[in-house]
Chains A and B, each alone.
Chain A
Amino acid sequence: MRAKDRRGARHPQLASDPVVHDLEALLGDRVRVDGAERSLLSRDASVFSGGRAGPVCFPLSTEEVQGIVKIAARHRRNVVARGAGTGLAGAAIPLGAPIVVVTTRMNRIRSVEIEDRLAWVEPGVINLDLSKQLRPLGFHYAPDPSSQQACTIGGNISTNSGGPHCLAYGVTSEHILCLEVVGADGEVMVLGGLDAEPAGLDLRGAFVGGEGMLGIVTAAAVRITANPPAVRTLLLGFSTPREAAATVSAVIAAGIVPAAMEVMDREITRAVENFVHAGYPLDAGAVLLAEVDGTEQGSAIDAEVIARIGKEHGATSIRTAEDAEARDRLWKGRKTAFGAIAQIAPAYYLHDTVVPRAALASVLEQVYAIAERFGLLVVNVFHAGDGNLHPLLLFDPDEAGVLERVHGAAAEIVRASLAAGGALSGEHGIGIEKQEFMSEMFGPDDLDHQARLRRGFDPWCRLNPGKVLPSAHSCADLSELARAGEGIWA
């Protein structure tokens, strides 16, 4: 087998790279070096560019991933793991022509073990597919990112993904019992365990959210959650986002942790309604989608309290989904909100910061003001229950200089969130997007300790170098990475 592109043409220069030779010996034609494949994989779903992929590998097994990392170690090459590429922080963007390991073909559910309430899955399993497979058994996989139709469990683990239902059920980390990973030296390790309190340091916990820099996930034991007997979904309309946000805080203060509490502002609600016709109120300044689950009676009590609190905070309309179909339609609206944006603008930058719930309304107002100052349209759809903001900055990529304004507004939104006592990211991660903002949230000693964690897992700076940690604390030389592979892998 030789380095060929899809049309079968030889790439003599690329084939002369000895790492390609070794990878082909391991994987045959599941190594790709053609320009089309590599340029596709040089980006993720973010607005960031500057990636350069080296050879792209599609392993089928843990042993093959191990073989790839050992080859990389031997040739002193870097390795970047990649799932579906739906990440929004640029974490999967390959810097410096590394070997790219795409895990989408490792997509088997190895077993479902009801007695232990777990499933062993490979990293390429699509998030929603897992829940679909579990449904007949009466279970689901709780973390439900809006991208769940496309993103992989491996990507979810490495970004510690959230989703609407993580408010009550917890983010990805709470649902990962045990990980099989290939470490930076090519050794296969099992982190965590299936027992109640695995012995030793919590390496599993430290690994989750590692953005591909701590190891490559080849299998995971994930917790499966019993489907609740009753679910109630409420849709509350308000005249302003401030009232919706105040309702969210008041619900929590009343001692209720709903399964989900999501807010959408006027613009996005209209776009969504045009898209799914779920009965979202077109005249509302903001809507709150709140879901409670549990027993028939218990969830009814909680739903009543939420409706009452909504009324007290000026809700202009309150609707309860009559049946499962109406509920699914409402959720479809929320989960396809980003797709619906296409009606408003050709492109968007989806932002992600967290603030204390009490600061939601005031930071939101700042977000609108910032966008206006930069001459951009912003719409908001967010995990209000967690204080997790998702401003979408809309733009036309053909407009000259627009990206600078987008990045300028994004930076100010980050600073407004930090000033309110918040965090850089709630679920998308740092990647290259917020790398240099890390120093605004953490001091040098704090960052030094994050770098120590990274070195403990990967002292060779081999896995996905140049991400997360700002340049002063990174093991990688970012400008050198930008130049690496300029010759043949350009």
Chain B
Amino acid sequence: MSVTVDRELVSFCAEVGATGPVAVRGAGTRFEVGGPLAPETRVVAAPAGIREYRPEEMTVTVLAGTPVAELHAALSAAGQRSALAERGGTVGGALALGEDDLRVLARGKVRNSVLQLRYVSADGVLVKVGAPTVKNVSGFDVGRLMVGALGTLGLLAEAVLRTRPTPAVARWWCGEGIDPCAVRDLARSASVVLFDGTTTTLQLEGHEVDVDADLVALGRLGAFRACEGPPPLPPHRWSLRPSELLRLDGHATGSYVASIGVGTVFADRPQARREPPAAVRAVAARLKAEFDPSGRLSPGRDLLAAH
């Protein structure tokens, strides 16, 4: 067994302890998601720092309290990046939230980028799940449960993440009166195609020749101009099927920006609560009882609350 438990992880374990309600605060950029913590909850911080970066393996081992920006600065030195969104938060916060970057088509889903996790369990023990290799099917995939669980099943201490090469070229374009679905179908190198009801905004990434070729092809759909980046995104995050975007109801969302081909919509108003059916809730409740029998981890957080 190659479990090298070190001082930082041990002291994080000790800090979490085995009793009393506890939660982790990262940078606090999305701390309100899921609703307020129970008032008596002790709030702790996860350790920070990059442990080991192996560009030739496309993997990085990073402590959960590390700012995503710091991680990306280290990766960019070797021409790589991760799937995590860089919006001022920490790695642990991004994993606990599990929300994908805007450019998910090129960067991949956050949950698919997690290779191994170490977390502190409800009984204050350090647990390892997954493997540091890019491929692994050794046992049940507990790590999948932790991503997006808002710290309700375990408090994240360290992650091994998959990294990806950063393409040579990345450019933003926008234009009005252009069918965004046609853009999505045509532009293979699009990392994101956004539509707010009027303007289509997209980012093309890849080899310069491919980006140029896509742009020429897109010219058939309408006139595009270079732009700085995505438009400002309304605060609430909706999750829809990609095909539902064709029938988006502006009354329900208020002003919106929709991610074409993905199904995420940034809207002025929150999405209605998405309640899974009883049989699914029963499994989720059993899992919560298994991983946190006393309910001490991030009490008060409701995974189904609107973002």
Contacts and interface: CB of A to CB of B under 8 A. Distances in A.
Interface of A: 113, 115-117, 159-160, 162, 166, 170-171, 173-174, 183, 187-191, 193-203, 205-206, 208-210, 214, 226, 229, 249-250, 252-253, 255-257, 294-295, 297-298, 301, 354-358, 383, 386-388, 418, 421-430, 434, 438, 440-443, 445-450, 452-457, 459, 468-469
Given A174-B112, A199-B276, A423-B138, 10 more contacts: A189-B280, A196-B239, A196-B264, A198-B239, A210-B140, A249-B56, A383-B135, A387-B134, A425-B137, A453-B290
A454 B131 contact: no
Given A253-B56, A298-B206, A197 B141 contact: no
Contacts of B79: 255
Given A188-B279, A202-B148, A205-B111, A197 B239 contact: yes
Contacts of A298: 206-207, 209-210
Interface string B265-307: 0000000001011011011101101110000000000011000
B87 interface: no
B239 A189 contact: no
Nearest to A160: B137
Interface centre among B138, B149, B280, B303 (most CB of A within 10 A): B138
B55 interface: yes
Contacts of A469: 139
B207 A297 contact: yes
B51 interface: no
A196 B259 CA distance: 10
Contacts of B282: 187
B3 A427 contact: no
Contact of A209 (B134, B140, B149, B188): B140
A201 B135 contact: no
B72 interface: no
Contacts of A456: 283, 286-287, 289-291
Interface in B42-62: 54-59
Interface residues of B, number: 79
Nearest to A215: B283
B15 interface: no
Interface centre among B125, B136, B137, B277 (most CB of A within 10 A): B137
Interface string B118-162: 000100011111011111111111101101110001000000000
A179 to B, nearest CB: 11
Nearest to B212: A297
Interface string B64-105: 000000000000000110000000000000000011100000
A423 B280 CA distance: 31
B135 A427 contact: yes
B240 interface: yes
Contact of A450 (B3, B55, B140, B280): B140
A202 B117 CA distance: 15
Interface in B235-285: 237, 239-244, 246, 259, 261-264, 274, 276-277, 279-280, 282-284
Contact of B188 (A162, A229, A430, A440): A229
Nearest to B1: A443
B213 interface: yes
B295 to A, nearest CB: 15
Contact of A205 (B56, B141, B304): B141
A383 B282 CA distance: 39
A191 B280 CA distance: 7
A116 B242 contact: yes
B242 A115 contact: yes
Contact of A201 (B2, B121, B125, B148): B148
Ordered nearest first, which 10 A-B pairs have the shortest CB separation? A205-B144, A196-B263, A456-B287, A255-B165, A423-B131, A452-B290, A115-B243, A187-B279, A199-B274, A253-B56
A52 B213 CA distance: 60
Nearest to B132: A421
A440 B1 CA distance: 6
A203 B127 contact: no
B131 A201 contact: no
Nearest to A174: B112
Nearest to A455: B290
A197 B304 contact: no
5 contacts: A383-B135, A426-B137, A429-B137, A443-B3, A456-B283
Given A115-B243, A196-B259, A295-B210, A426 B135 contact: yes
A200 B209 contact: no
Contacts of A446: 127-129
A449 B259 contact: no
A358 B56 contact: yes
Contacts of B129: 446, 449-450
Given A113-B243, A450-B129, A459-B286, A189 B139 contact: no
Contacts of A159: 137
B164 interface: yes
Contacts of A442: 1, 128, 138-139
A183 B283 contact: yes
A358 B166 CA distance: 21
A423 B290 contact: no
Contacts of B111: 202, 205
B109 interface: yes
Given A386-B134, A443-B128, A189 B283 contact: yes
B291 A202 contact: no
B273 to A, nearest CB: 8
Contacts of A454: 140
Nearest to B291: A452
A203 B148 CA distance: 11
Interface centre among A183, A193, A206, A257 (most CB of B within 10 A): A206
B135 A387 contact: yes
Contacts of A297: 207, 209-210, 213
Nearest to B306: A199
Contacts of A355: 133
Nearest to A437: B138
A441 B259 CA distance: 41
Contact of B241 (A194, A295, A434): A194
A426 B239 contact: no
A424 B137 CA distance: 8
A201 B240 contact: no
Contacts of A116: 241-243
A486 B246 CA distance: 60
A330 to B, nearest CB: 23
A173 B141 contact: yes
Nearest to B242: A116
A426 B133 contact: yes
Contacts of B134: 354, 357, 386-387
A117 to B, nearest CB: 7
A472 to B, nearest CB: 14
Contact of B279 (A115, A174, A189): A189
A452 B129 CA distance: 12
B153 to A, nearest CB: 8
B119 to A, nearest CB: 9
Contacts of B132: 356, 421
